[in-house]
Each structure stands twice: as structure tokens, then as C-alpha cells.
Structure 1
Amino acid sequence: MQGLEEKILALYSRGMSTRDIQAQMQELYGVEISAGLVSEVTSAVMEEIKAWQHRPLEEIYPILWLDGMRIKIREEGRDTNQTLYLALGVKQSGHKEVLGMWLSSGGEGAKFWLSVLNEIHHRGVEHICIACVDGLKGFPAAIEAVFPKTRVQLCIVHLIRNSLKFVSWKDRKSVVSDLKPIYQAATVSEAESALTAFAERWDGIYPTISQIWLNHWENIIPLFDYPAPIRRIIYTTNAIEAVNRSLGKVLKTKSMFPHADAALKLLYLALKHLMKRWTIPIPHWKRALSYFAIDNPEYFLH
């Protein structure tokens, strides 16, 4: 049957068990397949994953998002929570690309991200214009250690969430409203004035919030150097969180993976299916690229 392997892998990428795949192949195509064939087809995916994970990368990525998600894997007879690390970049063409995925048994940490960034560098990446990350402690330092000229943009959505940890329910709507003038300002000076106004109103009740923003100010303000279309792309890690949500839908079918390879196979196939849909460049990309070129002339203007 033509495309038999592709059909098996398509069903597997949806999180189906071997038994479910056999049943679906019988029901949809009238084909009986053995459990051994399913295992053989899916096992071959590991070689594809190794080649994909070690493939050369482009020299320059204007934008890179980094994020992690938790998954459950049985390891040495016990259930463990592991972190799947993902790096999502935008190529100079404006198309998104997953640079790789990594599993770690420890919680998400800057030290492991440092090893990920070093691997990316060794695979050919010379420069990242701007890296968009959440508020993980030590994250900016890890990025700058490998890519010293990269600007680090903190996810504003994560920053707001962290700020609201200290706010009572009755004040949340007002606090969120008063934070908007900071990150929606036209310039850095306007943002600074908005932060001062916020502190004057709320420091008497929630002094921690303005301090959080001040502590992260260096990694909040890069977005003010770009026009609105680019700001909408870089002010949040929504792009990579959307990838995580897609993977999460597949993971819901598996309460626990028997081993790491099983998780990697399923996640890779789900990613592969997702990446096939990324055929259109990011909106307003040509304009965005011109700003990145002006900001990074040594990499773009040869």
C-alpha cells in the first residue's frame, strides 16, 4: 500500500497507541498491520530525529524564542517530571523554524539553557538579533554568555502575571490597566514616566510591583526601538507557547511515557506535522528585517 509508513506515522503523531493504530488502519483503509510493523516504522524515526537534531543551522536568526514545558516520563522504574526545552527561530526569510528540542530531568533552569545555546552556536548560529524569553532567573546572562551581542526581550505577559501575584482580586483590573501605559508607550522616556506614575499610585499598597519592573528594565525596553508590527512579535513568547499548546494536545493522550525515546518520537512527529503549516512568512516581515539590519549592520550589511 502506497504511503503506508506515512499513514502509520500520522496516526502515531496524534498520540495513538499501537493497538489504536492497527484498528484505524483496518477501519480507514481495510489494511491489517502487525504490532511489529508499527514498532519498526516508529523506531526508524529515532534516526531521523538524530539527523534533525544535529543538522546545520543558519548563521543569523533575527528572532529566537526559548521556552520549556513539563512532561512525565518513567525512568529507571519511577515516574519523573522532565522538561522539554524548545528553541523557535525566525529565519531571514521570515519563516519560523524549530531549531531543536532537548529533554532534561531537572526543572527548567538557566544552566541547561546555556548548554542548549552552546549547541545551537556549534551548529552554525553566529548571531541572534533578539531573544524573547520568560522571567527565568539567569536567562539573560546565559544568552549573553554565548551570544554577547544579542538583545534580550523579556515577555511582558509573563511580567504582568508575576506582578499580579502580589495583587488582591479587587485591585487586579486597575493594576493591569495602569501597567498598560508602560509597555504600550511610544518611547523609553514615556515608558519611564508611566512607570513613575504607576509607582506613585501603587507603591503604598504593592511596592514590589514597580521594583520588579525596575529590576528587569534593561530587558523590557528593547521593544521600544522597533515599530508596532515588530513589537507585537517580540513583546511576548506567544509564538513558542502556541507550539507548546499544540504539543500539549498530543501529550494529553499519554499520561506517562515508558521512556524518553517514546516521548521524543511522538513530540518530533507532532512538531514535524506542525512545521509543515509554516509556509507563509511572518506579517510585515520585510519591514521588520530592515530594522534588524540597521540594528545589526555587521551581520547584514556586508
Structure 2
Amino acid sequence: MAADLLDEQLIGQLVDRAHAGGIRLTGEGGLLQQLTKRVLESALEGEITDHLGYEKHDKVGAGSGNSRNGICSKTVLTDVGPVEIAVPRDRQGSFEPQLVKKRRRRLAGVDEMVLSLSARGLTHGDISAHLAEVYGASVSKSTISTITDKVVDGMAEWQNRPLDPVYPVVFIDCIHVKVRDGQVANRPVYVALAVTVDGARDILGLWAGDGGEGAKYWLQVLAEIKNRGVEDVCMVVCDGLKGLPDAIGTVRPQAITQTCVVHLMRASFRYAARQDWDKISKALKPVSTPPPTQDAAEERFLEFQEAWGRKYPAIVRLWENAWAEFVPFLQFVVEIRRVVCTTNAIESVNARIRKAVRARGHFPNEQAALKCVYMAVMSLDPTGRGRKRWTMRWKPALQAFDIAFDGRLSIGRR
């Protein structure tokens, strides 16, 4: 391990000597920069030794056909700031450094830092200013854009990766981003998040829409997911997306489509005066809070219709149109009801995405918007602690799914 190679006594001596000599530990000219310079130069010296096949000043090199040919100075941006290093050369010009490649001015750690900051919503200008302030390094916005563009290949590979054969439930939701296409306009980006048979979270993909999606659009999305190896989906939870239920019935006739109750409640408020929101919420709660049976839900809805139908017929019509996709979860036990009546499972993902999107204002094109959303998704839960809590929370529901859907999850455990 790397920690085993470090001599604590030697480190202490270096720190003490730096303090005694008035040398700072960090910052320009600090101890960390000097150590980074020495380590990089030592590693480069090792690389050219391997390339030539003999040590520096070794007589074996005489007449070998190639030899060291001095050095060239190069400033590279590292995690501790700009560092000027001496890069060895050979007479034939065949030496290709791997640690600090030719024409490269940044170490890999800097690229990772830029991608991390970008995923957390910082604009290219913010990242440039941050690097200048913290590390004293000048990195242009165009360079930062070049670094973040590297994720595009990874994004395409991720979007086309093979998927599991079965998922108990898939949540589909969308966030809106501002894209300049002649003029700035809102564009939906759809996120599909699945729960695996082991209770893990798996984001299946991202899809940009143009606001005119219908059954044809969703047929293409669902066909793509199917072609990536998904044989079965038990339930699909969504926000009444236009054309999606019809597409699910075509591609996944065995899947149950469930409308998110929380989104249905929010949509109801759009038709009501603000002063009536609390009253509407209380009146709909007996309907939206899972009653014991579908008949009981219908009775509670009729009571709501009698009380509010004359004043807000649009709310009644909204619920009537969504009723077929609202009631499916009522046939299941409480463990399943609790997790499929809303798209809350995907809300934490959307919150991270919205934070990154809001910081950018608007995007020059669809690809730039998708790149931002993809980086936000890839930065979720880097420690893995949230993944464990998520999995444990889903265990009771998965046991209920296994019973309710009569062994359909077993193909995911082969």
C-alpha cells in the first residue's frame, strides 16, 4: 500500500525544515509543490531509463544507438498548482513520457477536479476562477470545455450499455433545461431510474425531448431499453407523460403503469386558487392516501367531486382521466404501495440535476445540456454510503414484489 512506503520520521523532518526555512507547506513555492516537482522528475527519469535500457551515466549506453539528450522545461498544472519540471529527452526523439505526455499541460488529477466541479453545477467561468484563486493556475474556459467534452464518449458508451434482464419497477420522470435554439426555450430531459432485483438503484439512461412527445416517441425509448437486454419490467411509475401508457402497453403488455400520486396532487393545484390549496389537499388526501380497496378510493373521490366539482371541474376531469393509472397500486400490500405511489425514488437524482442545470442558466445546444445532466448523474453518491441505505430500504418491498409477481424476478437472479 502507498501508506506503507511513507516514512513518518522523514516526513516530520521535511516539515520541520520547511518551517525553519520559512517555506510554506502549500501555495506557490511551498513544500508540496517542491515535492511534487521532485517526484515527477524522478518518475520521468525512471521512464527514460526503461526506454533506453540503462541508467544515467552508465557506460553501457555508449554506442547503443540512442542516449539521453538533455532536458526541456515544462510547466504542468497539478493538484497542488503549477509546477515547472525538467523533462528528459533522447537523441532519436523516440521517448514518449507516459506520466506527463507530450503536449499535455495538466496531470490527470486536474481533469478529474474540473469534471467534479462541473458536475456540481459550477460554470466554466466559475471553475476557471476557482483554479486561479486556489491554485494560482490559469486555465481558460475553452480548455475547461475541452476537458468536459471528454465525457461525451463515455456518455455514449453508458447510454448503450447492456442492462439487467428484469427490473421490479422503473421510475420515469423529467427535468426541464433551457436550450438556445434560435431562442431560449424549455426542453425536457427524461430520466429512467430502475430498481434491480437486489434493491440497487440503476439509472437506465437519459433522453432529450422536444416537447412534442407521444406514443411514437416513447415506443422508441422503450424499444431501446428492451434491445439493451431488458426482458421484463413489473411496474412503470411515471408522471402521466403523454403517450407513455400506450407505449408501455405495446412494448411491455405485462407491465403495470402507475401514475405518481404526488405529481397528480401538484397538477390539481394548477387549477385551483392559492387560497384553496390547503382545502383541496385535505379533500383529496383520503383519495390519494392509499385506502384499503379500490372501491373505497372511488367513494372518497365521489365525495370530493360533490364538494368541489362545481367550482373546479378541471380537477375532477384530471383525476378521471388519470384514474386507470392511479388505482393499480391499491391491489398490492402496503410494502409495495409505499414505494410505487410516487416517484420520490427519483427525486434525489432530479435534485442533483436541477442544481447543476440552474447554475448554467441555459445551454447552447441539446448535447451540452445532456452532457451537464450526465455528469451530475455520474457524481451521485461517490462514497457509496447512500447506496447501502437505499438497498436496505427496498428489501421489504422486493420480497413483496417477488410474491405479487409470481416468480418474474427470478430471471434477474440467474
Q: TM-score range by the shorter chain?
A: 0.7 to 0.9
1:189 to 295, 309, 316: 295
* Aligned 8 A contact 1:131 1:151 in 2: yes
Indicate the SS of the match to 1:216: helix
1:279 to 387, 397, 404: 387
Shift, 1:291, TM fit: 1.7
2:128 to 11, 15, 22: 22
Indicate yes or no: 2:249 matched with 1:141.
Answer: no
* Aligned 8 A contact 2:213 2:242 in 1: no
Name the residue aligned to 2:5: none
Name the residue aligned to 1:38: 144
Shift, 1:210, TM fit: 4.0
Shift, 1:187, TM fit: 2.0
Indicate yes or no: 2:165 matched with 1:59.
Answer: yes
Indicate yes or no: 2:240 matched with 1:132.
Answer: no
Indicate yes or no: 2:368 matched with 1:259.
Answer: no
Shift, 1:258, TM fit: 2.0
* Aligned 8 A contact 2:170 2:194 in 1: yes
Cα distance 1:11–1:225, how it changes in 2: closer, same or farther (>3 A)?
same
Question: Matched residues in 2 for 1:172 and 1:42: separation?
Answer: 44
Greater Cα radius of gyration, structure 1 or 2:
2
Name the residue aligned to 1:99: 204
2:284 to 179, 187, 191: 179
* Aligned 8 A contact 1:80 1:105 in 2: no
Question: Matched residues in 2 for 1:110 and 1:141: separation?
Answer: 6
* Structure 1 unaligned regions, length at least 5: none
Question: Matched residues in 2 for 1:240 and 1:60: separation?
Answer: 19
Question: Matched residues in 2 for 1:114 and 1:198: separation?
Answer: 36
Normalised by the length of structure 2, the TM-score is: 0.66
Question: Matched residues in 2 for 1:122 and 1:83: separation?
Answer: 23
Name the residue aligned to 2:266: 161
**Greater length-normalized contact order (CA 8 Å, ≥ 6 residues apart):** 1
Equivalences for residues 85-96 of structure 1 within 5 A: 85-96=190-201
The size of the alignment, in residue pairs, is 301
Indicate the SS of the match to 1:3: helix
* Aligned 8 A contact 1:97 1:275 in 2: no
Cα distance 1:39–1:169, how it changes in 2: closer, same or farther (>3 A)?
closer
Cα distance 1:260–1:168, how it changes in 2: closer, same or farther (>3 A)?
closer
Indicate the SS of the match to 1:279: helix
Say which is worse superposed, 104-113 or 129-138, in terms of deviation. 104-113
Say which is worse superposed, 5-14 or 269-278, in terms of deviation. 269-278
Question: Matched residues in 2 for 1:233 and 1:289: separation?
Answer: 10
Q: Percent identity?
A: 38
Shift, 1:30, TM fit: 4.4
Name the residue aligned to 1:295: 404
Shift, 1:105, TM fit: 2.9
* Aligned 8 A contact 2:122 2:356 in 1: no
Question: Matched residues in 2 for 1:8 and 1:91: separation?
Answer: 32
Indicate yes or no: 2:231 matched with 1:122.
Answer: no
Question: Matched residues in 2 for 1:177 and 1:136: separation?
Answer: 26
Shift, 1:22, TM fit: 3.0
Normalised by the length of structure 1, the TM-score is: 0.87
Cα distance 1:273–1:196, how it changes in 2: closer, same or farther (>3 A)?
same
Question: Matched residues in 1 for 2:125 and 2:242: separation?
Answer: 44
Equivalences for residues 108-119 of structure 1 within 5 A: 108-119=213-224
Say which is worse superposed, 57-66 or 108-117, in terms of deviation. 108-117
Question: Matched residues in 1 for 2:372 and 2:226: separation?
Answer: 26
